């Protein structure tokens, strides 16, 4: 079905050197889009020929600079995936302003101003486009020792809705993706330390019986950016294998 093709679009995917962002970037490329990968520094394992831009999105000016560079690289840029984010939490009573600011600067502020800079460029060029903001099921459900992260992901859920409303008159769709428990370098760092019975507990809680893989998020992102989703904006698509559907899970 041609409606799912992303040719001849061009996309920037932030935080795409590993994990979910990398899988999404590869998925967009497979669907026909030209893709710019992004990270704080160029990874050694990025295949030759892939476009890449480096930027530390903690810096206030970085979102606008990155978007300007992306349009220089691909003037036809019309798709944006805001995936860059991380986890800096410690237990709530130990949290300090520095960790809070790091979380909000990267997960929330950078996303907001990336979309703003992207939208300004599209409006100046008088063309529409589409955005996917990667949030998390943590934007709906809290987790132990994750207060700042959970708060940031909840902010991204509302950001998706309010930016969809603001940008609809400019023919720019904004949707969100909320992954559940997915194998990534970030989650594997703590999943690997869990006891086998704890891991089995997670697998029982997920209706499809397994922890997700990063590639499970790629198709959803392709869909939301494609003409097949032309009448969808302001929505957050949960990709969690049913993790948040049942209350208890299998015993």
pLDDT in tens, 186-215: 787 767 666 677 778 888 899 999 999 999
Range of the domain at 51: 2-239
- Cα distances from 133 to residues 9, 45, 48, 95, 123, in angstroms, run 18, 25, 27, 26, 19
pLDDT in tens, 30-83: 999 999 999 998 887 777 778 999 999 999 999 999 999 999 999 999 999 999
Domain contains 28? yes
Q: How confident is the model at residue 246 (pLDDT cuts 50, 70, 90)?
A: confident
Measured distance CA(211)–CA(124) in Å, rounded:
43
pLDDT (0 to 100) of residue 195: 65
Domain contains 52? yes
Total domain count, the chain: 1
User: Whole-model pTM?
Assistant: 0.95
Q: What is the mean pLDDT of residues 120-145?
A: 97
Tokens 């997920």 appear where?
206
pLDDT in tens, 139-182: 999 999 999 999 999 999 999 999 999 999 999 999 999 999 99
Phi, psi dihedrals of residue 236, rounded to the nearest 5°: -120, 115
Domain contains 250? no
Domain contains 246? no
CATH number of the domain where residue 183 is located: 3.40.50.720
**Active-site residue set:** 149
Cβ atoms < 10 Å from Cβ of 195: 8
Measured distance CA(157)–CA(97) in Å, rounded:
23
Report yes or no: 134 and 179 within 8 Å, Cβ to Cβ.
yes
Q: What is the mean pLDDT of the chain?
A: 94
Measured distance CA(66)–CA(245) in Å, rounded:
37
- Cα distances from 219 to residues 140, 177, 212, 226, 237, in angstroms, run 22, 11, 13, 10, 11
Number of residues written out for the chain: 251
pLDDT (0 to 100) of residue 193: 65
Domain contains 245? no
SS3 call for 241: coil
Which residue from 237, 221, 185 is spatially nearest to 19, judged by alpha carbons?
A: 185
Measured distance CA(180)–CA(178) in Å, rounded:
7
- What is the rounded radius of gyration, in angstroms, for the C-alpha atoms of the chain? 18
What b-and-e string marks burial along 130-168, b requiring 16 or more CB atoms within 10 Å of the CB? bbbbbbbbbbbeeeeebbbbbbbbbbbbebbbebbeebe
């Amino acid at each position: 079905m041609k409606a799912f093709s992303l040719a001849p679009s061009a996309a920037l995917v932030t935080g795409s050197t590993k994990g979910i962002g990398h899988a999404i970037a590869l998925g967009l490329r497979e669907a026909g889009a030209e893709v710019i990968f992004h990270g704080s520094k160029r990874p050694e394992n990025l295949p030759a020929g892939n476009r890449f831009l480096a930027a530390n999105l903690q810096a206030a000016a970085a979102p606008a600079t990155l978007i300007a560079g992306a349009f220089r690289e691909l003037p036809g840029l019309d798709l944006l995936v805001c995936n860059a984010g991380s986890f800096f939490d410690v237990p709530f009573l130990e949290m300090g302003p520095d960790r809070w600011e790091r979380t909000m600067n990267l997960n929330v502020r950078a996303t907001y101003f990336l979309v703003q800079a992207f939208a300004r460029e599209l409006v100046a060029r008088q063309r529409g486009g589409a955005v996917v903001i990667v949030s998390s099921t943590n934007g709906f459900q809290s987790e132990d020792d994750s207060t700042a992260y959970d708060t940031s992901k909840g902010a991204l859920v509302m950001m998706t809705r309010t930016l969809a409303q603001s940008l609809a008159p400019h023919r720019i769709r904004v949707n969100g993706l909320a992954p559940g428990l997915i194998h990534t370098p970030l989650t594997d760092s703590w999943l690997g330390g869990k006891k086998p019975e704890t891991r089995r507990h997670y697998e029982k809680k997920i209706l499809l019986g397994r922890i997700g893989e990063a590639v499970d998020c790629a198709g959803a992102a392709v869909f939301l950016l494609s003409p097949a989703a032309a009448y969808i904006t302001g929505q957050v698509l949960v990709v969690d294998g049913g993790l948040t559907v049942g209350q208890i899970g299998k015993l």
